[in-house]
Structure 1
Amino acid sequence: MSAFNLTSSGTSLFILNGIPGLEAAHIWISIPFSMFYIISLLGNFMVLFVVSKEQTLHKPMFLLLCMLALTDIGLSTCVMPKALCIFWFQSKHITVDGCLTQMFFLHAVTAMHSAVLVTMAFDRYVAICDPLRYTTILSNTRIAKLGLVGLIRAVICVLPVPLLLRRLPFCSNHVISHTYCEHLAVVKISCGDTTVNRMYGLGITVVNTGIDLTLIGLSYGLIIRAVLKISSKKAHQKALNTCTAHICVMLMSYTLSFFTALTHRFGQGIAAHVHILLANLYLLVPPMLNPIIYGVKTKELRNKLRKYICRI
């Protein structure tokens, strides 16, 4: 059986098979996928445009919304153009370098997205638990520095993933049963020892997600304790309303993320097409809904968005 190693196979190709078992329905599946992607791009670019244009929105909270919008655009754009090419034109081939590049950016942006959610939880904690010191604790410069730390963490943690894959041999099976180069999907088709790759991927996921969820849980635990001490019912309701949008976004993102990760590793009884569909929806639905949620729940942003929409 012939095998190639990624370290010396610049001309070798992988084949992205799309959604196994639903090849005949690819065209129909592409309709909602493309609509979700377009809505996601329009919504997130609108948030970026409005915040950049409105001086009154140049605050830490809205800077974080811009970071979230950028990661949302990155998440869906990493995979959707190639997925739609598979659905529309049967363009299933992808070069090894292209596959590893897509994998790196996808997982790095996912890690960055999680870091932004942690920073947003910290922002809400300071706003509710220590409002008098909010402007001194969280300036735009400090938020930018926290964003840079999240980016550096994402790059350092994810960079070994494609580098470790390059050492693996791949035999006759070059077909990836997925619409994009997800780490485990590529690892599964290797004919070499993938223990290190699997352990590193699982370790990074558990450690990073565990730390992020712990920090978010700690922030909201302190927020809930502070809110329960508020005697005024109106102030109590206002404090909770400031967190509603972030809680919705956080639950949606982490729930879908956990479900796709767990089914990939432990869901052998789940049909392949179900897993692949959910893995794609995880990269489409939150980026599409996030600007809608924040547009509805954040009064300042909602008013500015309405002003620009009425001009169209």
Structure 2
Amino acid sequence: MQTKIGIIGGSGIYNMDGLENATWVTAPSAWGTPSDDVLTGRLDGVDMVFLPRHGRGHVHSPTTVPYRANIDALKRLGVTDIISISACGSFREDMAPGDFVIVDQFIDRTFAREKSFFGTGCMAHVSVAHPTCARLSEACATAGRAAGITIHTGGTYLAMEGPQFSSMAESKLYRAWGCDVIGMTNMPEAKLAREAEICYASVAMVTDYDSWHPDHGAVDVSDVIKTLQGNGTKAQDLISRLPALLGTDRTPCPHGCDRALEYAVMTAPDKRDPALVAKLDAVAGRVL
């Protein structure tokens, strides 16, 4: 199998530099229309696909991002590895604005989103005990350090619904829970990538200290935008180093991300809804 890297760009990242034969194409999905067209091309001999999570021009709110359509479209395009790039707030003094955090755990506090491809008529339960791929995360950390970025390996991401930022009480509560960063978009994205058997890594770019920090006060959008611009340049540099680390030939994931559905489908074959099974042809066709 050939490696095909999918980049989901978050706030402030609506394009990707350096792709050879870069072309914007409409990506099909059985789950609605993705956030935008996708940019396809090659970087250092490796196929890449870029999808702006909020759409070019930042059209979608964190709640209205069509997460299922996005992941399904990347699966249909043959993406083997997804790197999520997103902005976040920090709950830790040492995770400062401009730093990047390679997230390895989530607490999902979102409540207004469809979180699974499966449901009545075809039910599956995948494990998200370890919701990101350690192999892919390590590649992102290595690429980030080589680019001169301050990288924090490992961290718990609190996914909030948004679009408002946290109250001070919420911010202090999440810190007490042991969370490291807070964002609005990695859930249900990571869960859906696992259901689609695609390796997923989360690179969270710190823009602010949320609202807990006594010396920084409430989140200021103008300050966030300034930091986003610098983070976007760093993210492009990190991404540019991934093809050399991941290589062109894709071997099976040592952590089993690409086999997550092996024993997950619970509904008996004769009880499955044909219409739902048809929609699952890309995500779960391997096991259905």
Common fold by TM > 0.5: no
The normalised TM-score by structure 2 is 0.29
Given the two structures, how large is their TM-score scaled by the length of structure 1?
A: 0.27
Q: Greater helix share, 1 or 2? A: 1
Structure number with greater CO (CA < 8 Å, separation at least 6) is: 1
